[in-house]
Structure 1
């Protein structure tokens, strides 16, 4: 039933000209990695977590404190509920290892809009606190948007390609470069006015986030600068990946983690 509902949402979005968020397309639990990615250890990305719904990975997230996870708002849409949601931390395997924790509360940005993807950010409060160590660490949220052209990286367990990518049980990452919002919204690329103030882009040839990576981190300068949100297919020329801009949404996160 879930796949039927999500397929209908995808068809409606395509019919209306919308670009589908990267966590909402129909996907098998076996869909598995960043496009153009390289296998990595969790020690190199200790803030990365896997969001698990009914026992299967479906989105990513980032640790910002011992009990708060930042992810994409669209990852918290139905059918995600507190009863079927878990977070795996401390493992580069999405199916085992590390710790698997229950979620006590979740909150999506009140201004999130499915059609425009604006404000695509949310927070989770874990039922118990994480124990920090070499495989589990918090990452600082950026307070300023990185400059156009800045080096960055993405990570996750999403698909290898838009149409039936091969799977990987291991966390992968890819290096990319920041594309500033004004550049991303210009005629140089294909999005135009779809790229809004709460968004930032990143691009590299044949490298991108894809379905199953949503909610995961865009990191630059050792800080969380973006949350994987949406794109036109995956690694498609002239269409960078689009992320929720953490610097623009940081104040909301800081307030939300107090009340969630």
Structure 2
């Protein structure tokens, strides 16, 4: 028992510092039913700490930020699916293997993608489904609306919701996003795509990192970083699924797991 309590405390301190770098990522969203977003997963260490998406019955994709330096805690981690309520109902699996991008840069959260092999396949149905990946080099027009889901905080430094939240955000022109974040000495790379509103108000928030950004049933992004939550001129930055180096890494991990 002492070992478990100590491990929980150590994980909270270690991971808490990581989360503080980017505030993770739903503000001004609405309650959602898992049947409408059956690919949504929760990464848990006794508590929810990141989102993920199911891409095979036994494989999930999330941000490398969420799996960085957690090998020591892997025996205590789990992945939940099939419930609108966090920590209640649904199915659960443990983590068997983690395949993070070899170029992951924790300083600027570049190449922020990780593929997770589960120790068992989830039983697919109305509440649990896989989601296809956006094709490589596919580009989304500026202004296109996407949906972000998760159990992250309802506002910056706010409380975690019990029920899944969903919010719609629109794509920001890449050059505009680069310019906006240059004022904060933050780097936006080609492996990133930005969604939100310049006037802010709607956004993902803390503990939504790794969660899905979806357009027409296709996974186009993974919650990665931003400054704070829902602040003006600070849109959410997501790992770009269609980038060749991101897309190929996911597929290489899938091959490795076969």
TM > 0.5: yes
- For residue 198 of structure 1, the aligned residue among 178, 191, 195 is 191
Report if the CA contact (8 A) 2:22-2:228 is conserved.
no
Give the alignment of 1:119-134 within 5 angstroms: 119-134=111-126
SS in 2 for 1:194: coil
Give the alignment of 1:22-171 within 5 angstroms: 22-23=23-24, 34-53=26-45, 55-79=46-70, 81-143=73-135, 144-163=138-157, 165-171=158-164
1:151-205 deviations in whole A, cap 9, x for unaligned? 1010000011113x13311000001101132231135984676110000010033
SS in 2 for 1:255: helix
- Structure 1 residues 166 and 111: CA distance shift in structure 2, 3 A: same
- Structure 1 residues 237 and 131: CA distance shift in structure 2, 3 A: same
Scaled by the length of structure 2, the TM-score of the pair is: 0.87
- Structure 1 residues 123 and 10: CA distance shift in structure 2, 3 A: closer
Number of aligned residue pairs: 241
Scaled by the length of structure 1, the TM-score of the pair is: 0.86
SS in 1 for 2:232: coil
Distance 2:34 2:175 in 1: 33
Report if the CA contact (8 A) 1:162-1:234 is conserved.
yes
Unaligned runs of 5+ in 2: 1-9
SS in 2 for 1:51: strand
Distance 2:182 2:19 in 1: 23
SS in 1 for 2:176: helix
What's 1:182 paired with? 175
Report if the CA contact (8 A) 1:184-1:191 is conserved.
no
Deviating 4+ runs (over 3 angstroms): 1-11, 187-193
- Structure 1 residues 120 and 35: CA distance shift in structure 2, 3 A: same
SS in 2 for 1:247: coil
